[in-house]
Structure 1
Amino acid sequence: MKHLGKIALLVAVIGAGGAALMIFGARLGLWEPITGFGLYRSYFNPLAMIVAGLGLFALVLHLIRKEKAAAVLGGLAALVGVALLVPMISSTLNPPVRAAPINDITTDTANPPAFLVLDDTRPGARTSLVYAGAKVAEAQAAAYPDIAPLETELNAAAAYARALAVANAMGWEIIAEDAENHRFEATARTSVFYFADDVVVVVTEQDSGSRVDMRSVSRVGRSDQGVNAARIRAFQQQF
């Protein structure tokens, strides 16, 4: 039992590494994002509890035995476990607001920008790029009433160039550019789990400048947890 602190710390290190792989494995090309998310939902919390429990047990045992160095190792392991438990504790104390069950957000629900290059064969896609119509539009209006077209005094060419620059600054992968028609398509990735969302931006010339419309669609999931609306807001803010 004198080595329990070392064992607990080793388990904590391995556990932290496993947790990181669940979250960032897709970014490393190990699996599809949905696989990492599934691993997270199934194993993250049990893993965290094992690490925290073993670390705490080692800490108490070595304190009782007056083995200070080993107790420190157990304490470090317990801290790693508690850190891994933070997401579960946080969601328990402050349950997240349930997001609207939609994954296709656009600034123009009456005439949503269409994808001309990206299609339903894009890698890992479990959703369609065909707009679902009035039902989705009504749900979006109720959940995200602030999402609207971006009006700018720039002419269409200048607004298109600026929109493209903002997309690049936000780290999107530009899939297709059409400067003549002032439109481009791109893929954006979430920082956690590396989920892919597809985006189309269209700039329309107007008498007093131009209008920038966009649409952001998740590849998987019935609900996007508000990510697409947040992306549109961030894009417009940076523009």
Structure 2
Amino acid sequence: MRSRLGSVLVAFAIVAILVIGVMMLGARLNLWQPIVGFGLVRNYMNPIAYAVLGLGILGVIYYLVVKGRCGLGKSFFTVVVGIALLAPTIYGKINPPVRVPPIHDITTDTTNPPLFQVLDESREGARNTLVYGGPEIAAFQQQAYPDIVPIFSDKSTQAAFQEALRVAKEMNWDIVVEDQYALRFEASAKTSVYQFIDDVVVVVSSVEGQSRVDIRSVSRIGRSDRGVNAKRIRTFISLFDK
């Protein structure tokens, strides 16, 4: 009988896990747009976690007083769940994330960024334009991501184009269009958790006997991409020709 409260606490903890899981994965389940799930997690994950942790601590205190071993174990479980749900916040306090500039359009060529020819302002859920922001955005990117530069390869342009396509498919991008003659393709890529859709264009050209590969990645939603587009381009560069 005394462990009944502990069972309630365990049930509450499990429900909390399920609720947060649905908030995070709702876009994958076609329940809502990614921005909705992101907002739900940002607004409600910590309050739910604090509630689980607080109730678990109260349960531990209660069972320590009444000396209920079974209920104490269940209360400890609830506390562990609460701490686990708070882990991202705790980690962020201990190791603050690197601040990123308020930009969502990253490219290996800030002077003549690759242009989108098929994807346009009508793409689903888009709130950001595909028009490049110019020198101001280029300056922000150069300051934050000076390592984002074109790929130069000794491969022929056709071979470099095929290698770029291979990398895109390995990264699970959805190829929207590819042009074997113009040596360019456009694709969409989804973020891993919330399933935000970003748009990517890759162009291969010939420069002084080498093949040059330029990439541009643009978020459909949000003023800042939290470094996602730069990370995507870095991954593409690291996988190219490997």
Question: Is TM (by shorter chain) over 0.5?
Answer: yes
1-structure distance, mates of 2:122, 2:82: 41
Cα distance in 1 for partners of 2:60, 2:190 equals 41
Q: In the alignment, is residue 166 of structure 1 matched against residue 167 of structure 2?
A: yes
The TM-score with structure 2 as length reference comes to: 0.95
Q: Percent identity?
A: 50
Report the equivalent of 1:38: 39
Moved over 3 A (4+): none
The aligned counterpart of 1:55 is 56
- Structure 2 match to 1:24: 25
> For residues 55 and 124 of structure 1, what CA distance do their matches in structure 2 show?
41
Instruction: Please list, as runs of the form range in 1=range in 2, the aligned pairs for 1:57-206 lying within 5 A after superposition.
Output: 57-206=58-207
Give 3-state SS (helix, strand or coil) of 1:197's partner.
Answer: strand
- State the Cα distance separating 1:161 from its structure 2 match: 0.5
1:226 Cα offset (Å): 1.0
Shift of 1:26: 1.0
Distance in 2, matches of 1:206 and 1:132, equals 26
AA partner of residue 74 (structure 1): S
Q: Partner of 2:62: helix, strand, or coil? A: helix
- 2:30 corresponds to which letter in structure 1? G
2:91 match: secondary structure: helix
Q: CA deviation at 1:208?
A: 2.0
Deviates more, 1:41-50 or 1:200-209: 200-209
Q: Which residue of 2 aligns with 1:233?
A: 234
Query: Deviations 1:149-172 (Å, cap 9, x if unpaired)?
Result: 110001111111110010000111
Shifted more, 103-112 versus 173-182: the winner is 173-182
1:45 partner amino acid:
N
Bigger mean CA deviation after superposition, 154-163 or 204-213 = 204-213
Range moving further from structure 2, 5-14 or 94-103: 94-103
Deviation, 1:8, is: 0.7
Task: Give the drift of 1:203.
Answer: 0.4
Write the distance in 1 (CA, Å) between the matches of 2:225 and 2:146.
16
Taking the aligned partners of 1:229 and 1:134, their CA distance within structure 2 comes to 18
- Distance between the aligned counterparts of 1:10 and 1:121, measured in 2? 45
Moved more, 110-119 or 92-101: 92-101
Distance 2:133 2:237 in 1: 24
2:47 alignment partner AA: P
- Where does structure 1 lack aligned partners over 5 or more consecutive residues? none
Moved more, 39-48 or 86-95: 86-95
Residues of 1 paired with 2:159 and 2:15: CA distance? 51
**Residue type at the aligned position of 2:18:** G
- Partner Cα separation in structure 2 for residue 169 and residue 28 of structure 1: 23
- Provide structure 2 residue ranges, at least 5 long, that are not aligned to the other structure: none
Whole-Å Cα distance in 1 between the matches of residues 213 and 98 of structure 2?
Answer: 30
Q: How many residues align?
A: 239
Task: Measure the CA separation in 1 of the matches of 2:178 and 2:83.
Answer: 47
**In 1, Cα distance between equivalents of 2:198 and 2:141:** 17
**SS class of match (2:102):** coil
The corresponding residue for 1:211 is 212
Q: Distance in 1 between matches of 2:149 and 2:99?
A: 22
Q: CA RMSD in A?
A: 1.2
- Greater shift after overlay, 2-11 or 91-100? 91-100
